[in-house]
Amino acid sequence: MTERAPRRSRLRRTALSAAAAVTLAAAFLAPAASAAPKAPAAPVPAAAPAVAAAPDIPVANVKAHLAQLQSIATANGGNRAHGRTGYKASIDYVKGKLDAAGYTTSLKTFSYNGSTGYNLIADWPGGDTSHVIMAGAHLDSVTGGPGINDNGSGSAGVLETALAVSRAGLQPTKHLRFGWWGAEEYGMIGSQNYVNSLAATERSKIETYLNFDMIGSPNPGYFTYRYDSALDALFRDYFAGLGISTEQDFEGDGRSDHAPFQNAGIRVGGLFSGADYTKTSAQAAKWGGTAGQPFDRCYHSSCDTTANINDTALDRMSDAIAHAVWTLAAGSTTPPTGTVFENTADVQIPDYGSAVTSDIAVTGRTGNAPSALQVGVDIKHTWRGDLVIDLVAPNGTSFRLKASSGSDSAANVQTTYTVNASAAPANGTWKLKVQDVGPQDTGYIDSWKLTF
């Protein structure tokens, strides 16, 4: 996981050009194809295909991959960092495993800091390629250590899940793709390069991206990414079946490879076992471990070796990766339908000032809003980390869509949020409330929409 960046003096920058239209995602279904403000007749939903149970992912296999990554680091100056021989050896190891398992692999190169970087993309044959389920992890370490938890753990869990797909001869409804990213520790360079390299039509085919960065922390927590309520529920319900209560992750906001996908309008989810934040007494009571200590005391350090892994957390998290991949890959590809209400009027956002709102009047609905209300947001802004975004329902209930983040220095918010608004009335005036809480920024609400 990328180190948190300190807030720094910034020059004003021009907002990036608008990305492709924001993709609307409903729970485990393909994004809506139309953003027109109309109300199509609701068809009878198609029956969802039966979902085969995901196999148990042998933790011994995952640990064997970690042992290989440790050996690679030991033989290459103690690390597997971008631009170093240890990283290229790591990518070659993963690629060899996938090639032997029947994947179509592609090594994508990029340049950063004067060195060649590598992303590895692996596609499993079959499935509807217009509906791609993607899982990924960064494979590089910092220069100061072998990076076995950060992020050999996520890389190994994703790799073993991909190999389990091959062993099972899985024939998914949707297309499965896996990715291993380079230069994440420099600010998600590899994954951003990959997203940028895709034509808009190819980006729109990626229905879901799941990210796994640090899943074996020695003093572990069980955190789920909070950006999409359906994906959060997928993992939360899985762990509930194990008697484990999860929490939504705030430590990793904007600090890993999900960020470029999310910023491109692709829905994202994932798991995280904690980095340098301190475990609270309540978390220790819930998950075990030691209160008052970091989740990973060896974060970005030379002691992040194979001895820095909690086997139980690694086992549970790896099984959860497989559960998500099996479940999502078997989902229906029938596009959801729904009534769309949209406001395209620009609203300027004052720099370091008061909150502004943009209104949408919803009429003609019955009862309350849905439990998976889709909120598509397109905000042009030079430093989105300073933005706080809320959705305010007609009855005054407020839903936090985005908190501020000092480490998120990119531009624009162009994504879709899923909100459980079932306690709020559907009809009435809905408000998108946006506030810039830091200086030296410019931006405006370009448009936003609600899909019921």
Q: Which residues are catalytic?
A: 184
Annotate the chain with three-state secondary structure: CCCCCCCCCCCCCCCCCCCCCCCECCCCCCCECCCCCCCCCCCCCCCCCCCCCCCCCCHHHHHHHHHHHHHHHHHCCCCCECCCHHHHHHHHHHHHHHHHCCCEEEEEEEEECCEEEEEEEEECCCCEEEEEEEEEEECCECCCCCCHHHHHHHHHHHHHHHHHHHHHCCCCCEEEEEEEECCHHHCCHHHHHHHHHCCHHHHHHEEEEEEECCCCCCCCCCEECCCCHHHHHHHHHHHHCCCCCCEECCCCCCCCCHHHHHHCCCEEEEEECCCCCECCHHHHHHHCCCCCCECCCCCCCCCCCHHHCCHHHHHHHHHHHHHHHHHHHCCCCCCCCCCEEEECCCEECCCCCCCEEEEEEECCCCCECCCCEEEEEEEEECCHHHEEEEEECCCCCEEEEECCCCCCCCCCEEEEEEECCCCCECCEEEEEEEEECCCCCCEEEEEEEEEC
Q: How far apart are CA 53 and CA 200, in angstroms?
A: 33
Q: Which residues fall within 8 angstroms of residue 238, CB to CB, at 6 or more apart?
A: 320, 323, 324
Count of alpha carbons within 13 Å of 385, Cβ hemisphere only? 18
Q: How far apart are CA 425 and CA 421, in angstroms?
A: 8
Q: How far apart are CA 171 and CA 167, in angstroms?
A: 11
